[in-house]
Structure 1
Amino acid sequence: MIRLKQALMERSDNSFEHRLKLLKHSLQTAIELEHATIPPYLYALYSIKTAENLEIAHLIKSIVKQEMLHMSLDCNVLNAIGGHPKIDHPRFIPHYPGTLPGSVEDSLIVPLAALSKQLVSDVFMVIEEPEQTVDGDASPPDGVTIGEFYQHIIDEITELSKMGNIFTGNPERQLVTGFAELQNQGVYDENTATNALKLIIDQGEGSTSSPIDTEHELAHYYKFAEIYHGRKLIPNPTPEAGQPEWLFEGHRIVFDPCGVYPVISNPNRHSYESQPRVEDLNRTFNRTYSDMLRKLHHVFNGQPDKLALSLLSMQSLREQAQLLMTQEVVPGQTAGPTFDYIPA
């Protein structure tokens, strides 16, 4: 049984206060989980050369944007129950290669690597995979899915709400700007909290009957599957009994490996010690990334006016990363950012 379920279902202290404390911890883990997917997705996105593999870049960019939304929704839920999101912290950025927070897909090792179909299939699709797909892929997930992780949190919110009012947080800490979805996703009670978390599940996995989320976009798993299969996912025009209702038979999505920088996998802070220029470029990237996390920490702890500044920091990251990715560090391979935390 996963650690989250053990924490929620097998407690020695079953008091309302202790269960609420564990729920806050689970939501902090959810924030860290959503963030943990962003550096690997960005690393693959940044490895795409300018004006190359444009449709694939658009798909990955749309997924990263929604992962940022999911972080925001988790922060809103945690704030709504009187918690305090912790984003400006050295341990907030995970180590790569490594596992995901919350015991999600706990046998999966997530790397920082250049975009490839193998990376998409073996890592990204596994991160986002649902319990059951609608495209004919019947293989069950090896571990706990993100959807199951969130369903445990939703169930605990429901149970605790029967015991008392858990929504005691300051409503002014709700972020209701920056993303169109947030305008209707403020969290103030059990219903709005459940809706926010269900939106995260739908956008990542889709549902058991459709790959389309509630915002009328393809869920993350199927966007990555389109990249892997090299075709758009479309409804089966002539579905028969036992046949999938959706097929990868739409227009071609061409992946050109030559349009990807040959970046090294899993760089760390020691990778560039003998190359001062590369080391300096990497440090600049890490400062920008750490500064963005600090601004986001302030955004979700009572200073929402810093959101625009944090988004500007994120826009700078691609340019800094791609400059790194033009720097050869070993024959035939170039540098990539390490996503290290640098204190202010």
Structure 2
Amino acid sequence: MRRQIQRLFRRLPATSTAPTLPSPKGGGELPGPCLELPAGLGDGQNAGMAGDGNGQAPEPPLRVESREELVYLLGEACELEHGLLCEYLYAQFSLKRSVQEGVTPEQLARIQVWELAIIDVVKQEMLHLSLATNILTAIGAAPHFERPNFPILSRWYPPDVQIALVPFGERALRHFMFLERPEGMSLRDAEGFGAVGHMRPLSNDDPQLTGGAEEWHTVGHLYRGIERGLAHLVDRYGESDVFIGPPNAQATTQVFEWPELTAVTSLASASSAIEIIVEQGEGARGDWVNSHFGKFVGILEDYLAVRRADPSFEPARPVIPVFLREPPDVDLVTLIEDPLTRRVADVFNAAYEVILQVQSRYFVHHGETPDELETLAKTAKHLMNWTMRTLGPIMTALPVGPQHTGQTAGPAFEIVRPAFFVLPHRDAAWKILRERFETLADVSLKLAEDPGLTGMKQIATNFQGFASDLRRHLTARAAVPTS
């Protein structure tokens, strides 16, 4: 099997062997990566990285000469984190849930271990998006939760950075590894993903009064460019004139669960936030075993072992990403035909949209009390942990329609009205959110009447709880006399 997995690194130099852990039998932890690694990577050195003699040209530095370019790059970083988050959720939602779906109890146990590993990565991607948004806020910009619809191909980002919704399996895992690979590592993307064309790096005589796209190849490359850009602007303008945004408008560990989530107020705190993002994604300066990249390597290795024992093993449902309506920025999408599936997908898209509205309101809040801010944070967390985690697998069990026999509906995370994400006026925002949750609760309760959708009843209860929390604050606020 080692020769099989070594193909993952077929463009890398001479190898040495990393330590291995025994593969558990049904349940338990994932095995540690036991593939043959590029020389030095297994012992924490940066061998195999760009510029160290492996034949790969050094990745070009990003050029940041203005706050506007920095905001542009941070916006791309937020879109990238958002896109990765949706990719990983899609793979998670595609996983089979019971032995009735054609897997053995032992195989189902492995699937559950893989899902837990993906959930850990998803939580860290949420942290990364929050940290990137904190940096945006710190330099005076608005939160950026918009993104193109899927698939996000080379029209939006550098040609070799492509994001699409793929069910769990070897292709998805190879693609995830490519996106999370350490900066400078030479690794091919999965089948069907390939760079189209080339970008021209900015030259020193390019004007940069407005922000624009630059050539970056990995998540780490983008964030290191942002870090150097921050340092350059601090050298030019001074720290107090770069970090001008309000710290109290940022997400912190006081109301969110992550101890790493702190306000960005200086170059040091911005660099610390970037270091967390890069280390969790690709690893700490060459030690990637516990990073997102390393976790996907471990999952792929375990998956290939199960497939070798049973070549017919399929851990994922036959999902394809489906839309309710044709988006303006993507061609040739699959539209849902089944009426019941359309209604569930509509709830999914609306719930996804309201998550973005709640998050946006948190970052642009003005006038909320600490208790109200805690409610916004709790609502966003519970929407992800309670509602979406239940709703996603419900949707992926439903048919697409008669034109796609045997295929089930994968959520496309449709972006419908980007401008509606930001609710800038406090009282109106809270009333809109309460109204939205009440509507979602009513629709979910009606769907729960279908014998195959009884799980929608708990989702309706969750929506009712969110609406009740918001209503409580609105009632308390209305009782306060105005001067």
Unaligned runs of 5+ in 1: 9-13, 213-217, 232-247
Whether contact under 8 Å (1:76, 1:174) holds in the other structure is yes
CA deviation after TM superposition for structure 1 residue 74, in Å:
0.6
Measured in 2, the distance between the counterparts of 1:172 and 1:260 equals 43
**What is residue 48 of structure 2 aligned with on the other side?**
none
Q: How does 1:134-213 map to 2 (within 5 A)?
A: 139=187, 144-163=217-236, 164=238, 165=240, 166-177=242-253, 178-183=256-261, 185-211=262-288
CA deviation after TM superposition for structure 1 residue 259, in Å:
3.7
Whether contact under 8 Å (1:78, 1:85) holds in the other structure is yes
Shift in CA distance, 299/101, structure 1 to aligned 2, threshold 3 Å: farther
Secondary structure in structure 1 of the residue aligned to 2:410:
coil
Secondary structure in structure 1 of the residue aligned to 2:259:
helix
**Which residue among 329, 333, 338 is the counterpart of 2:407?**
333
Unaligned runs of 5+ in 2: 1-57, 99-107, 190-194, 196-215, 326-333, 421-483
CA deviation after TM superposition for structure 1 residue 140, in Å:
7.9
C-alpha distance after superposition, 1:21-45 (max 9, x if no partner): 2212221221111101111110100
CA deviation after TM superposition for structure 1 residue 334, in Å:
1.0
**What is residue 237 of structure 1 aligned with on the other side?**
none
Structure exhibiting the larger radius of gyration computed from Cα positions: 2
Measured in 2, the distance between the counterparts of 1:255 and 1:288 equals 38
Whether contact under 8 Å (1:36, 1:100) holds in the other structure is no
CA deviation after TM superposition for structure 1 residue 113, in Å:
2.0
TM-score, L = length of structure 1: 0.78
Whether contact under 8 Å (2:338, 2:399) holds in the other structure is no
**What is residue 295 of structure 1 aligned with on the other side?**
358
CA deviation after TM superposition for structure 1 residue 342, in Å:
4.3
**Which residue among 319, 323, 329 is the counterpart of 1:263?**
319
Shift in CA distance, 103/93, structure 1 to aligned 2, threshold 3 Å: closer
**Which residue among 375, 390, 395 is the counterpart of 1:324?**
395
> Which residue identity lines up with residue 196 of structure 1 in the other structure?
A
> Which residue identity lines up with residue 269 of structure 1 in the other structure?
L
Measured in 1, the distance between the counterparts of 2:399 and 2:339 equals 13
Q: Comparing both chains, which one has the higher relative contact order based on Cα–Cα distances under 8 Å and sequence gaps of 6 or more? A: 1
Measured in 1, the distance between the counterparts of 2:284 and 2:179 equals 16
Measured in 2, the distance between the counterparts of 1:322 and 1:139 equals 32
Measured in 2, the distance between the counterparts of 1:310 and 1:101 equals 31
Secondary structure in structure 1 of the residue aligned to 2:260:
helix
**What is residue 228 of structure 1 aligned with on the other side?**
300
Shift in CA distance, 337/102, structure 1 to aligned 2, threshold 3 Å: closer
Whether contact under 8 Å (1:102, 1:149) holds in the other structure is no
**Which residue among 167, 170, 177 is the counterpart of 1:117?**
170
CA deviation after TM superposition for structure 1 residue 339, in Å:
0.8
Q: How does 1:243-254 map to 2 (within 5 A)?
A: none
**Which residue among 325, 344, 353 is the counterpart of 1:281?**
344
C-alpha distance after superposition, 1:235-275 (max 9, x if no partner): xxxxxxxxxxxxx99xx9x99944421112x3233534532
Whether contact under 8 Å (1:285, 1:320) holds in the other structure is yes
